[in-house]
Structure 1
Amino acid sequence: MPISNPLNPNFLPSARVLVIALLMGASGAGAQDTGAAKGSIYSCVDGKGRRLTSDRPIVECLDREQRVLSGTGVVKRVVPPSYTAEERKRMEAERRLEEAARERVAEEKRRERALLTRYPNQEMHDKARAEALAQVEDVVAAVKKRANDLAKQRLEIDAEMEFYKSDISKAPSWLKRKVEDNLQQVDIQNRFLTDQAQERARLNARFDEELAKLRQLWAGK
């Protein structure tokens, strides 16, 4: 049986004394803070349903609330349960989850306010989408121009290679390097085009998501 439970018959006497001393210390401090007079009565119902009273914190009720009464029976304050280490760990984890949830809500609110500030109406949002897509199209146009230049260059290379078509191995190394470089550049331009197509799709998806959210915010506003 764990010795951390003061209700355990195997609980070490020294540990029991320490728990009671700590509770009495906390109780005394609370009494001083509230200006409570001496002679307070602790009252609780233990796990067996018994009503217990004492002039100090009740060991049998460490796991539940204890009411502190005045001499006339008026409740002056309530002492909360003394949680175990495992219980405190669980409560802290729950507190962190709740705090993270509040942070997510607050962040969403900040994002909504930023969206409304940036796009007060759909006209502004449509304009921003068009500008973003125009930048992609500029890159695509430059890539296609470079691809056309490479295609013309390849025609010139093929014309030079015509002399060695019967035995390509006899072509000079500088000409072979021109062929390899041209192929590599064409591959790079093709990858650029693929990347820009993905960027166009990403931008449209982002603006579509924003627009759906903004329509709700505009309606609420």
Structure 2
Amino acid sequence: MRALLVVAGLLLLAPAVRAQDGSPGKGIYTCTTADGRKLTSDRPIAECTSREQRVLNPDGSHRATLPPFLSPEERAAKELADRRAAAERLAAQDAIRRDRTLMQRYPNEASHQRARALALDDANKAMRISERRIQDLGVERKPLMDEAEFYKGRPLPGKLKQALDANDAGVEAQQQLIENQKAEIVRVNARFDAELARLRKLWTGTAPGSMPPLSELERTAPRATPKR
């Protein structure tokens, strides 16, 4: 039954092929099967329903091409393959665009090094601020510790204990900020190292879009906002 339906569909397509070409008379259908056999007929060839068939004029000249006759399942698979191919083309175009943008932004290594220094500046400033704050907290702690000496072996007054606890919490918070900024520096350097390795290849003639893409972390190292 399926074979009859396929042949019927091909026979319906045959007039359309002739109409598109505009040539009078019967066409000669020819194709090559999957196992290499060359078939010829005066009507669409059932054995070649999944393959392209050439339609020839009686003198052997090419009249038209009959595309494969696809089942609904085959058509769905082809549409899926077409969508995937389109997505791959877009991804390739995007990769080329990214590399060209990178080269426009950094035409040479000096410009890239300047950008690295600028990106690291915020983290370094934040670290220096935290280090100064820790020094200030150390100065603030000294009179508190001197006062605590009077209560050696005894419970500290609530106000004094609260002040010492707040001082400890402040130091801990600033130390955590310093660790965050150190991690930020590592991320920024990793991003710029990956970019520089890519740029050196692009600068020496490697085609844009021909290399694996930078990872998301390498493309956009997140910047921590320093807390004051």
Q: TM-score range by the shorter chain?
A: 0.7 to 0.9
Q: Is 1:117–2:104 an aligned residue pair?
A: yes
Change (3 A) 1:66 1:132: closer
Unaligned runs of 5+ in 1: 8-15
1:143 Cα offset (Å) = 0.8
How big is the shift at 1:141?
A: 0.8
* Root-mean-square deviation over aligned CA pairs: 3.0
Which residue is equivalent to 1:12? none
TM-score, normalised on structure 2? Answer: 0.73
Percent identity over the alignment is 35
**Cα-to-partner distance string for 1:169-204 (whole Å, 9 max, x where unaligned):** x522x4333333222222211111111111112222
Distance (whole Å) between structure 2 residues aligned to residue 47 and residue 205 of structure 1 = 52
One-letter amino acid of the counterpart of residue 147, structure 1: I
1:54 matches 2:39: no
- Of 152, 157, 161, which aligns to 1:171? 157
Count of paired positions? 205
Q: Does residue 1:208 correspond to 2:193, yes or no?
A: yes
> Aligned residue for 1:219?
204
User: In structure 2, what is the equivalent of residue 142 of structure 1?
Assistant: 129
State which drifts further: 93-102 or 64-73.
93-102
Comparing 118-127 and 174-183, the one that deviates more: 174-183
SS in 1 for 2:127: helix
| Higher deviation after alignment, 74-83 or 186-195 | 74-83
Structure holding more helix per residue: 1
1:122-152 C-alpha deviation (Å, 9 max, x unpaired)? 2222222222222221111111111112222
Partner of residue 93 from structure 2, selected from 106, 111, 123 = 106
> What corresponds to 1:197 in structure 2?
182
Q: Give, in whole Å, the separation in 2 of the partners of 1:130 and 1:50.
A: 69
Q: Does the 8 Å CA contact 2:17/2:64 hold for their aligned counterparts?
A: no
Cα distance change, pair 120–82 in 1 and its aligned pair in 2 (3 A): same
8 Å Cα contact 1:132/1:203 also seen in 2? yes
Q: Distance in 2 between matches of 1:124 and 1:73?
A: 65
Distance 1:39 1:157 in 2: 108
Change (3 A) 1:54 1:34: closer
Question: Using CA pairs below 8 Å that are at least 6 residues apart, which structure has the higher relative contact order?
Answer: 2
- Matches of 1:41 and 1:20, distance apart in 2: 16
Distance 1:167 1:214, change over 3 A: same
Larger Rg: 1
1:157 deviates by 2.8
Do the aligned partners of 2:21 and 2:63 also contact (CA within 8 Å) in 1?
no
Aligned counterparts of 1:162 and 1:120: Cα–Cα separation in 2: 64
Q: Deviations over 1:1-56 (max 9, x none)?
A: xx7xx34xxxxxxxx34x3443333333332222233422334466784845233x
Q: Which runs of 5+ in 2 are unaligned?
A: 207-228
Matched, 1:133 2:116: no
- Residues of 2 paired with 1:203 and 1:147: CA distance? 25
